[in-house]
Amino acid sequence: MSKKGLTRKQVLAGAAPFVAAAPLARLAWPSHAQAEPSATHMGHTHAATGHAAMIGHQVPAPGGPHDLDRLLLPTKALPYKPGRVREYELTALDKTIEVAQGVEFNAWTYNGTVPGPIIRATEGDLLRVEFLNGGTHPHTIHFHGIHPANMDGVFEIVRPGGRFTYEFPALPAGLHLYHCHATPLKKHIHKGLYGAFIIDPREPRKPAQELVMVMNGFDTDGDGENNFYTVNGKAFYYAKYPISVKRSQTVRIYLANLTEFDLINSFHLHGEFFRYYPTGTTDQFEYTDTIMQTQGQRGIIEIDFHNPGLFMFHAHQSEFAELGWMGFFNVED
């Protein structure tokens, strides 16, 4: 079976009896992987088959331990300063990326990554984004938020080799998105042209350890169904490399959903509840351990962990978790 041509049914056929990382260790990878033990977890070594919490170096995830840092860790928020200009450069590029172990995807990217780079400004800053289309198809950038009509990224189609400068005041405070709005829209988004857009309020949020998570999916065989689901572009990555957080510090997650072909995606945290601020534009929150987002929805999660240890997070659609959308927080004192 070609690792590049896995169908959703072939992947799930091997995953059906299991949950989380164990399926991919045995479904389409070499058969000897079935007998290999998983990483040591809390002092015990578990066999890969049937164990719902395989973590560590044997998890079938591509990439090294810091490959996704620039997509997970945003730059620090800046205090409000009248007249400040925040400048970014985004280039659309065709690029083949590895979305699961041994599985490649011909992506359209901003700056070579899926999702694209994190854009951050403070409410009232003048945002200036220089866009170059280095790809082989017409592209744009559409920013969620408030801006003039001629900066909306719908009619300002940028041909290959062309440029366009987006410039507008950053409004309102909250978590937003940016993505290509060229047609066919479904294809341009699914291929990878999207990213997180943070606008910080003039009155700063309280200090926290901040993380960005963009939920997405990849149709690697072109049948209109996702074969793999990820956060920040690599299946099972945060099971192989758990995210280290401190129990003494609030963890703030900027969570957005750009999953194409599925109506909803979700986030569930084990062993803890969190405050969820839809879109992050108000101080009203829900206290819960599970939230759902349709495509384009986003919000801010704040967690104050009560206990140290390893805590799983994943989509609460079991199929999504089995196909890559899961990971762990390593909560330390």
Whether the ω angle into residue 184 lies within 30 degrees of 0, i.e. cis, is: yes
Evaluate whether 142 touches 178 at the Cβ level (below 8 Å).
yes
Strand partners, 90: 131
257 and 191 fall within a common domain: no
List the chain pLDDT tens, one digit each, 333 residues. 345 566 776 666 554 333 333 444 433 433 333 333 333 333 333 333 344 568 998 899 999 999 999 999 999 999 999 999 999 999 999 999 999 999 999 999 999 999 999 999 999 999 999 999 999 999 999 999 999 999 999 999 999 999 999 999 999 999 999 999 999 999 999 999 999 999 999 999 999 999 999 999 999 999 999 999 999 999 999 999 999 999 999 999 999 999 999 999 999 999 999 999 999 999 999 999 999 999 999 999 999 999 999 999 999 999 999 999 999 999 999
Extract the tokens encoding 189: 């988004």
SS3 273: coil
Residue 102 maps to a domain:
yes
Strand partners, 94: 108
Domain hosting 154: range is 77-200
Query: How much is the pLDDT for 12?
Result: 66
Query: How much is the pLDDT for 23?
Result: 40
Residue 1 maps to a domain:
no
225 and 178 fall within a common domain: no
Cα distance between residue 25 and residue 21, in whole Å: 7
Extract the tokens encoding 297: 């929805």
Give the CA angle between residues 331, 77, 75 to the nearest 5°. 65
Phi then psi dihedrals of residue 186, to 5 deg: -55, -40
30 and 98 fall within a common domain: no
The burial class, CB within 10 Å (0-12 / 13-18 / 19+), for 200 is buried
CATH number of the domain at 246, please: 2.60.40.420
253 and 228 fall within a common domain: yes
Phi then psi dihedrals of residue 320, to 5 deg: -65, -40
Residue 188 maps to a domain:
yes
138 and 162 fall within a common domain: yes
115 and 232 fall within a common domain: no
Evaluate whether 6 touches 103 at the Cβ level (below 8 Å).
yes
112 and 165 fall within a common domain: yes
- Give the end of a domain, one of 160, 176, 200: 200
Phi then psi dihedrals of residue 324, to 5 deg: 125, -15
Extract the tokens encoding 145: 């938020």
Cα distance between residue 18 and residue 47, in whole Å: 12
User: Taking the mean position of all CA atoms in its chain, how far away is CA 132?
Assistant: 23
Residue 168 maps to a domain:
yes
250 and 133 fall within a common domain: no
279 and 319 fall within a common domain: yes
- Give the end of a domain, one of 200, 232, 261: 200
Query: How much is the pLDDT for 54?
Result: 80
Cα distance between residue 64 and residue 70, in whole Å: 13
Residue 107 maps to a domain:
yes
- Give the end of a domain, one of 200, 231, 264: 200
314 and 274 fall within a common domain: yes
167 Rama class: left (phi>0) / alpha (psi -120 to 50) / beta: beta
Evaluate whether 153 touches 141 at the Cβ level (below 8 Å).
yes
